[in-house]
Structure 1
Amino acid sequence: MRLLLPSLTALLLVSAAQAQDLTAEVAHSWTSGGEAAAVKVISDAFTARGGKWVDWSVAGFESANAAYISRLLAGDPPTAKTAVAGPEVTELIAQGLMNDIDTAFHTAVPDGVVPQVVLDAITVDGKVYMAPTGMHAGSWMFYSMPVFEKAGITEAPTSWDEFFAAMDKIKAAGLVPIAWGGQSWQEGIVFHAVVLSTIGAEAFTRLYKDSDLSVIDTPEFAEAVNVFGRMRDYVDAGAAGRNWNDATAMVIRDEAGVQLLSDFIKGEFTTAGEKPGVDYGCALTPGTDSLIFLADAFTFPKTGNADEDKAQALLAETVLDPKVQADFSALKGSLPIRTDVDTSGLDACAQKAVELVKQDKIVPDAAMTLSPAINGGFKDAVGAFFADPSMTSEAFIEQYKAAFANG
């Protein structure tokens, strides 16, 4: 045994040195309270596996992405970056700027436990390039139960007529009906949820997956535009430019009735100690029976550094671990991307989403199917329309349709 001890000590020292080399600079925009708590789940698990996490966070998705692209093109990328799985990343893969994590993915994930639509989004030329953290749905309505009670609203509205009647009651009670985040990317999420409610899942898929522009020329799409425009009358004067988490705080403080957005806002309720069914409620966007979903994922730029390549593989395996997926989702407000993860510990709102996924009542978000240029055109059109009540529905529809020409 005496002869073996020096060798064992040497091995431990080598292992420690290797662990110290597995440093990952991780770029993300998850800076709100709930998001930061969720990120810590991953960073702690990565550290426990021998990695060293170096945080590079920039508030605001668009700001974070711009800073990242600048570093990527300058040849100094971080080790990993969060993104929406879809064309935004596949365009960079096509330019030869990204590493695949195919071996790490298949080491960590058994066959058949990632939905095929997600697997398709993270795979290019037969190799997996992204490690998805979870699935978010963008067709939710969260509401303050005390505000509803004060306004005499007994249940969540399920149609737009019921919705606007409820908003009138909240306004009459002296409160803000809709907590509005006045940024074009938020307004785009709301608009697409309204579109789903009026045109239905089949037409939604034809429009945003197959680019069938005939859908835009229907009365149902025009109805979505009119419904969206009516919402201007129910937001407060400070809505323009407001961050999403500041809007969520209005609902948490019972100053506003509802927030229409993605389920990532649920993390703010959780970190504030709010309980679903007690302090706040959740329901699908009125008129909707499906979820608009997207998958968040870690992506891995080519860095030219062998140790960083190892760190990327370790981070991918960490993100895909079942316990990490469950703990992350509980704080982030998402659903685990793996279908073999125990979701019984997730909140009541998440359980609703789990059932809809099981029933295949999901449609992919445009960010997962259309180019960043097209999605940018959507956001520009939606933001301009909401900010300018004098813009006609016809003018908006033409601008929205023109966005497809950028693809």
Structure 2
Amino acid sequence: MYKKTMMKLSVLLLATTTVLTACGGNNNNAGSKATNTPASETPSNTPQENKKEVSFTIGYASGDPATKKAISDTVKKFTAANPNVTIKDLSETSSAAYLDWLKTKDAVGEFPDLVEMRDTEVFADAGKIVELPSDLLDLFEAPPQVDGKVWNAPLQVNAPQGIIYSKKAYADAGITELPKTYDEFIAIQEKLKTSGITPIVVGGKDIFHMGFWVNKFLIDEVYSKDADWNSKRTAKTVSFTDANVVQGITDFKELFKNYVDKGWLSTGDNQTASILVSGKAAQLYSGTWMFTQIAEADPNFEFGFYALPDRVGKINVIGLPSPAGWSLSAEAAKDADKTEAIKDFIRFFFAPEQYSNYLATINAIPSTKEKVTYDTSEQMQVALDLIADPNVVKSLAINNWWGDNLIPPQFRNWYYKLLQDLVVKDGDVAKYMKDADTEYDNQVKANQM
């Protein structure tokens, strides 16, 4: 059974503007710089004698190179400071969906001891993870609960996604103002096209990347107006064939047909930064973690970032918390020594000195109670302003809701692939959405058995 009681969201995000500091309007300073904290404040930062040898495995999604580097750097620092601990990195390296990768690891007896959990309810219901140890709870500011329990040490607060654009490409196309409505955004795409540059690059080879654009339109047309839409779809009181969903998916299809690079289906997410900075495309729709990658690809590349408005000019972004983050496997929890080593790693990970480096690498918003600072770029400040703005609607992606709004765990990837097929075959949106209803209901039924 995958349905649970819906937990009400209560989050205070205005504090983020006091947690992070902006570095000003230097267009080329697109990365971020960590603010150092004295090493003495970092737990487990010095080798400790006579400690028992222990090892554990760690698993996390690595489709985004910046995140992989940030986590692997922390693992190296931890093991250097704790020579009695060995950590085996099991990070996902394929273009397959992370959920499928974890299920495969579980099937072959290699489910990680410490795992980045995104589908928390799925694995909690299956008994694969345990609650976050109580002595770690105080590290975080009101982490989301499922059934009244905290299962994760949240890596960061969900940050907005938006348009990352080449300032040169916009200037060359005569674009002097950012769009105030979606129609104005489409007019910009026409100007870019006329100027001779591909308007948008998409890393469609990686199924998770499809979610950026899909959820942009679903949030605008569905979730910004009804946060409980998923539970209503499960109850069959709403449908993918409803006018609002059809409108959003029609916009998605038309955008891909007319303005997205023709090679999108064979382009990996990790190729998008180089395509953008090389001038082969003018824009990328993605998250704040891309800022550092773009700056590293070309430190002189000037780019901006903005949230894409909907048809009436309203700004709706990903920005609510969700139950995701580091989780301890049920199997590892049976081993007291392994559990203590994992708890030491979590404390080390979120200690200001280490955590600020992680946040700076991926331009993320901290989830900890303790103040963590790093210098932010012009682009990141835009994201922070969006989170702090009470007029901006905060939402979640289709698969990040939980409780009654949890969708069948396999549906997200199926749906993204369906929409890829819709674009490639120039299909009829209404018919494809009818197929989505059928598949959704079948998966709900299968999960209730």
Structure 1 residue 44, shift from structure 2 partner: 4.2
Structure 1 residue 135, shift from structure 2 partner: 2.8
**Secondary structure of residue in 2 paired with 1:130:** coil
Map 1:105-124; keep pairs closer than 5 Å.
105-109=136-140, 113-114=141-142, 118-120=143-145, 123-124=146-147
Map 1:367-382; keep pairs closer than 5 Å.
367-369=399-401, 370=406, 371-382=408-419
| 1:268-318 CA distance string (max 9 Å, x none) | 12433547xx71111112325132246551222223433322222122223
Instruction: Structure 2: give runs of 5+ residues left out of the alignment.
Output: 1-46, 445-449
Structure 1 residue 258, shift from structure 2 partner: 1.0
**Secondary structure of residue in 2 paired with 1:141:** strand
Cross-structure match for 2:245: 221
Structure 1 residue 77, shift from structure 2 partner: 2.6
**Structure ranking higher on relative contact order (CA contacts 8 Å, 6+ apart):** 2
Residues 191 and 228 in structure 1, CA contact (< 8 A), matched pair in contact too = yes
Cross-structure match for 2:134: 103
Structure 1 residue 237, shift from structure 2 partner: 2.7
Cross-structure match for 2:68: 36
Give, in whole Å, the separation in 2 of the partners of 1:200 and 1:29.
26
Give, in whole Å, the separation in 1 of the partners of 2:298 and 2:177.
22
Q: 1:312 aligns with which of 342, 347, 350?
A: 342
Q: 1:25 aligns with which of 57, 61, 80?
A: 57
**Secondary structure of residue in 1 paired with 2:228:** helix
Structure 1 residue 359, shift from structure 2 partner: 4.1
Q: Indicate whether 1:191 and 2:228 are aligned.
A: no
**TM-score, normalized by length of structure 1?**
0.81
Cross-structure match for 2:37: none
Q: Indicate whether 1:16 and 2:49 are aligned.
A: yes
**Secondary structure of residue in 1 paired with 2:157:** strand
Q: 2:381 aligns with which of 351, 357, 360?
A: 351
Cross-structure match for 2:157: 135
**Secondary structure of residue in 2 paired with 1:311:** helix
**TM-score, normalized by length of structure 2?**
0.75
Structure 1 residue 395, shift from structure 2 partner: 1.0
Residues 179 and 235 in structure 1, CA contact (< 8 A), matched pair in contact too = yes
Cross-structure match for 1:144: 166
Q: 1:346 to 1:221 in 2, by over 3 A?
A: same
Q: Indicate whether 1:180 and 2:202 are aligned.
A: yes
Cross-structure match for 2:305: 282
Structure 1 residue 148, shift from structure 2 partner: 1.1
Cross-structure match for 1:4: none
Cross-structure match for 2:26: none
Cross-structure match for 1:162: 184
Cross-structure match for 1:271: 296
Give, in whole Å, the separation in 1 of the partners of 2:355 and 2:425.
42
Cross-structure match for 2:88: 54
Q: What RMSD in Å do the two structures reach over aligned CA positions?
A: 2.9
Q: 2:395 aligns with which of 342, 360, 363?
A: 363
Cross-structure match for 1:298: 326
Structure 1 residue 247, shift from structure 2 partner: 1.9
Which deviates further from its counterpart, 33-42 or 329-338? 33-42
Cross-structure match for 2:354: 324
**Secondary structure of residue in 1 paired with 2:262:** coil
Q: 1:64 to 1:375 in 2, by over 3 A?
A: closer
| 1:8-52 CA distance string (max 9 Å, x none) | xxxxxx94342642x332122326542233124432453365244
Q: 1:210 to 1:394 in 2, by over 3 A?
A: closer
Q: 1:100 to 1:248 in 2, by over 3 A?
A: same
Give, in whole Å, the separation in 2 of the partners of 1:340 and 1:365.
28
| 1:177-199 CA distance string (max 9 Å, x none) | 11012244322321220232344
Q: 1:124 to 1:72 in 2, by over 3 A?
A: farther
**Secondary structure of residue in 1 paired with 2:88:** strand
Residues 177 and 235 in structure 1, CA contact (< 8 A), matched pair in contact too = yes
Aligned AA (1:29): A
| 1:204-255 CA distance string (max 9 Å, x none) | x132465475374543333212211111221223221311121232112222
Give, in whole Å, the separation in 2 of the partners of 1:341 and 1:318.
15
Q: 1:172 to 1:319 in 2, by over 3 A?
A: same
**Secondary structure of residue in 1 paired with 2:213:** helix
Give aligned-pair identity as a percent.
15
